[in-house]
Amino acid sequence: MSGEKGKTFIKLPKHLREAQISTERTHLISDPAKKPRQRYVQKDGKCNVHHGNVQETYRYLSDLFTTLVDLRWRLSLFIFTLVYVVNWLFFGFLWWLIALIRGDLVHGDEEGWTPCVENLNSFVSAFLFSIETETTIGYGYRVITEKCPEGIILLLVQAILGSIVNAMMVGCMFVKISQPKNRAETLMFSHKAVISVRDNKMCLMFRVGDLRNSHIVEASIRAKLIRSQQTKEGEFIPLNQTDINIGFDTGDDRLFLVSPLIISHEINEKSPFWEMSLAQMEKEEFEIVVILEGMVEATGMTCQARSSYLDTEVLWGYRFTPVLSLEKGFYEVDYNNFHDVYETNTPTCSAKELAVKHRDGALLPTLSLLSPEPKMHTFDTLTAHLITAAD
């Protein structure tokens, strides 16, 4: 494996090396003079946006369940423990207060005295009885008597409120554990996007793959171009979002993601890259956000994976290395080559200019040099034909 710094190449087959692909028109859209820019979406899919100066914070409390689920794990575990401890302490205090008002703490050990709760003689024992009541442990040492109506009412209230607390807190933890965002960790996007010619048309391409044997059901993919824009009236729109068509009208955006797929965007009249040549694109600053969505086969929950490509991560004049091979009885995917690319002869003009050249017949039909078999004979083959003809 060899190549320039920052690029990954593989050793091509012999007939492709003999074709002497010209590299004068293959470029990486990466100007060393460009300063590093902030991403809108990180490579791992996290959105690099922070919400500040939010005045109406009460809106978070109106959807308390989602707020609890969105918290970090350490804060979620702290709140989970705190809610239960406070709940037990609160009802333990009420049980102790009933015992104090009835005089059970003073006369509990006297013969003939019927306490509200047997063997409850301190706040600690009231706290332990509260835990036993809410968790239905039932050790049998502390029990409520039938001659305590206020205790019976408190028992009902604690049982009902305890069930509500259990449902909410256990539900939050279950949803947090089973969040499908963890499933997105095994969905892969290529490190780079490439631009090259497919079927005499300029295309922007990137590769996606799924590492698990359980598949993403109803998988679909879409892409957005993020770049600042100024309108004709002079209005400046930061981080304007433009749709990139990757097969919405043809159904190619709906994927059967069993093996890695190369997602292709045809650069046509409706594409934001239609009039961009290599020279023009090198001056642009943009980000391409790709979003893969689908349902997890095991749970049926919706999963979304995201990634992005800066303008410096778009390779002009490259193609992806094949990763699928036919073995005995099955197909094998080599993920070692998942991110690998190789150079291919690609014109530096815009897709619009390329289409004009095709219409005018100015472009030779031998644009694609990567044919399955070379159409030229070697010197030894020609010599063999001449000897046979002479005989």
Tokens of 179: 């969040």
Tokens of 34: 């460009």
Is the domain defined by 63-178 classed in CATH 1.10.287.70?
yes
Contact, 229 vs 237, CB < 8 A? yes
Question: Angle CA(8)–CA(34)–CA(1) in degrees, nearest 5?
Answer: 10
Query: What's the rounded Cα separation, in Å, for the pair 128 and 192?
Result: 60
What does the domain layout of the chain look like in residue ranges?
63-178, 183-360
Tens-digit pLDDT string for the chain (391 aa) = 444 444 444 444 444 444 433 333 334 444 445 566 788 888 888 888 888 877 777 777 778 888 888 888 899 999 999 999 999 999 999 999 999 998 888 876 777 788 888 888 889 999 999 999 888 887 778 888 888 899 999 999 999 999 999 999 998 888 888 777 778 888 999 999 999 999 888 999 999 999 988 888 899 999 999 998 888 888 899 889 999 999 888 889 999 999 999 999 999 999 999 999 999 888 889 999 999 999 988 778 888 999 999 999 999 999 999 999 988 889 999 999 999 999 999 999 999 988 888 887 754 554 444 434 333 333 344 344 434 444 4
Is the domain defined by 183-360 classed in CATH 3.20.20.210?
no
- Phi/psi at 37 (5° precision): -110, 160
Query: What's the rounded Cα separation, in Å, for the pair 317 and 193?
Result: 11
Nearby residues of 42 by Cβ (< 8 Å), 6 or more positions away: 48, 308
With CA atoms as reference, report the closest residue to 257 among 290, 289, 222, 220: 220
Contact, 278 vs 315, CB < 8 A? no
Q: 152 exposed, middle or buried (CB, 10 Å; 0-12, 13-18, 19+)?
A: middle
pTM, whole model, 2 decimals?
0.67
